[in-house]
Chains A and B, each alone.
Chain A
Amino acid sequence: MLPSSTVENYLKTIYLGSVGSDGKEAHLLPMGQLAAAVGVTPGTATTMVKTLAESGLVNYEPYAGVSLTRAGRRLAALVLRRHRLVELFLVRVMGLRWDEVHEEAELLEHVVSDRLIDRMDEMLGRPEVDPHGDPIPDAEGVVKKQQAQTLLTCPVGTPMTVTRILDQDKQFLRFVEHHDLKPGESVEVESRDEAADSVLLRGKDNRRITIGTRAASKLLVQVARVMLLVLALATAARAQQANPEAGFPSTGPISGYMEFHVNKADGDPTVMDFHRFVLLVNHAFTSKVRFVGEVEIEHAVVEGLEESGELELEQSYVDFLLSRPLNFRAGMVLLPLGIINERHEPPVFNGVERPFVDTFIIPTTWFDAGAGVHGEIGRGLRYRAYVVPPLNAREFTASEGIREGRQKGDEAVAAHVAFTGRAEYLGVRGLAVGAAVWRGTSQLLRTPKIESAVTLGEVDARYLRSRLELRGEFAQASIGNAAQLNENIGRGTGVPPNIARAIRGFYGEAGYRIWDAGSPRDLVAYVRYENFDTQFRMPAGFLPLKEFDRDAWETGLTYYPDPDVAVKADYIYLRNQSGVFANRRLFNVGIGWWF
Chain B
Amino acid sequence: MIRMLVVLPLLVLAGTPSRSAGLAQSPSPRVIEINAERFQFWPSQIIVMEGEEVELRLRSDDTIHGFRIVGASTNLEIPKRGHGNAVTRFTGSRPGRYTFECNRLCGAGHNFMRGEIIVRSAATGGTR
User: Judging by beta carbons under 8 Å apart, are A343 and B107 in contact?
Assistant: yes
Known A-B contacts A116-B9, A118-B73; the reply to A2 vs B111 at CB < 8 A is no
Specify which of B6, B71, B74, B105 is in contact with A280 (CB 8 Å cutoff).
B105
Specify which of B42, B80, B97 is in contact with A426 (CB 8 Å cutoff).
B42
Q: Is A455 on the interface with B (CB-CB < 8 A)?
A: no
Known A-B contacts A139-B72, A139-B73; the reply to A426 vs B22 at CB < 8 A is no
Specify which of B10, B17, B38 is in contact with A343 (CB 8 Å cutoff).
B38
CA distance A327 to B111 in the complex (A): 10
User: Judging by beta carbons under 8 Å apart, are A75 and B3 in contact?
Assistant: no
Q: How far is the CB of A463 from chain B (nearest CB, A)?
A: 13
CA distance A464 to B44 in the complex (A): 17
User: Judging by beta carbons under 8 Å apart, are A108 and B6 in contact?
Assistant: yes
**Across the interface, which residues of A come within 8 angstroms of B114, CB to CB?**
321, 324, 376
Q: Closest chain A residue to B47 by CB distance?
A: A379
Residues 507-538 of chain A: 1 if any B CB is under 8 Å from the residue's CB, otherwise 0? 00000000000110010000000000000000
Known A-B contacts A113-B16, A287-B70; the reply to A74 vs B22 at CB < 8 A is yes
User: Judging by beta carbons under 8 Å apart, are A111 and B109 in contact?
Assistant: no
CA distance A382 to B74 in the complex (A): 25
Residues 34-52 of chain B: 1 if any A CB is under 8 Å from the residue's CB, otherwise 0? 0100111011110000000
Q: How far is the CB of B95 from chain A (nearest CB, A)?
A: 15
Q: How far is the CB of A257 from chain B (nearest CB, A)?
A: 8
Known A-B contacts A113-B16, A379-B45; the reply to A292 vs B111 at CB < 8 A is yes
Residues 83-122 of chain A: 1 if any B CB is under 8 Å from the residue's CB, otherwise 0? 0001001100010100000001001100111111010011
Q: Is B121 on the interface with A (CB-CB < 8 A)?
A: no
CA distance A384 to B63 in the complex (A): 24
Q: Closest chain B residue to A378 by CB distance?
A: B45
Q: Closest chain B residue to A336 by CB distance?
A: B109
Specify which of B3, B19, B44, B103 is in contact with A78 (CB 8 Å cutoff).
B19
**Across the interface, which residues of B come within 8 angstroms of A253, CB to CB?**
105
**Across the interface, which residues of B come within 8 angstroms of A594, CB to CB?**
63, 107
User: Judging by beta carbons under 8 Å apart, are A107 and B3 in contact?
Assistant: yes
Q: Closest chain A residue to B41 by CB distance?
A: A426
Specify which of A86, A89, A319, A519 is in contact with B111 (CB 8 Å cutoff).
A319
CA distance A113 to B9 in the complex (A): 9
User: Judging by beta carbons under 8 Å apart, are B40 and A426 in contact?
Assistant: yes
Q: Is A362 on the interface with B (CB-CB < 8 A)?
A: no
Q: Is B2 on the interface with A (CB-CB < 8 A)?
A: yes
User: Judging by beta carbons under 8 Å apart, are A75 and B40 in contact?
Assistant: no
Interface size class on chain A is 35 or more
Q: Closest chain B residue to A365 by CB distance?
A: B108
Q: Is A248 on the interface with B (CB-CB < 8 A)?
A: yes
CA distance A380 to B112 in the complex (A): 12
User: Judging by beta carbons under 8 Å apart, are A321 and B111 in contact?
Assistant: yes
Q: How far is the CB of B11 from chain A (nearest CB, A)?
A: 9
Q: Is B32 on the interface with A (CB-CB < 8 A)?
A: no
Q: How far is the CB of A170 from chain B (nearest CB, A)?
A: 17
User: Judging by beta carbons under 8 Å apart, are A564 and B80 in contact?
Assistant: yes
Q: Is B82 on the interface with A (CB-CB < 8 A)?
A: yes
Which residues of B (78-101) have their CB < 8 Å from a CB of A? 80-83, 89, 91, 93, 97, 99
**Across the interface, which residues of A come within 8 angstroms of B18, CB to CB?**
2, 114
User: Judging by beta carbons under 8 Å apart, are A114 and B93 in contact?
Assistant: yes
A112-B10, A113-B10, A324-B116 are known contacts; what are 15 more A-B pairs with Cβ within 8 Å?
A: A2-B19, A75-B20, A78-B22, A108-B3, A114-B17, A114-B18, A116-B16, A118-B72, A121-B73, A253-B105, A255-B107, A348-B38, A379-B43, A429-B42, A464-B61
Interface, chain B (partner A; CB < 8 A)? 2-3, 5-7, 9-10, 13-14, 16-20, 22-23, 35, 38-40, 42-45, 53, 60-63, 68, 70-75, 80-83, 89, 91, 93, 97, 99, 103-112, 114-116
Q: Could you list 14 A-B pairs, sorted by A, with CB under 8 Å?
A: A108-B3, A111-B10, A112-B10, A114-B17, A114-B93, A126-B75, A280-B105, A329-B111, A343-B39, A345-B38, A380-B44, A426-B40, A464-B61, A522-B82
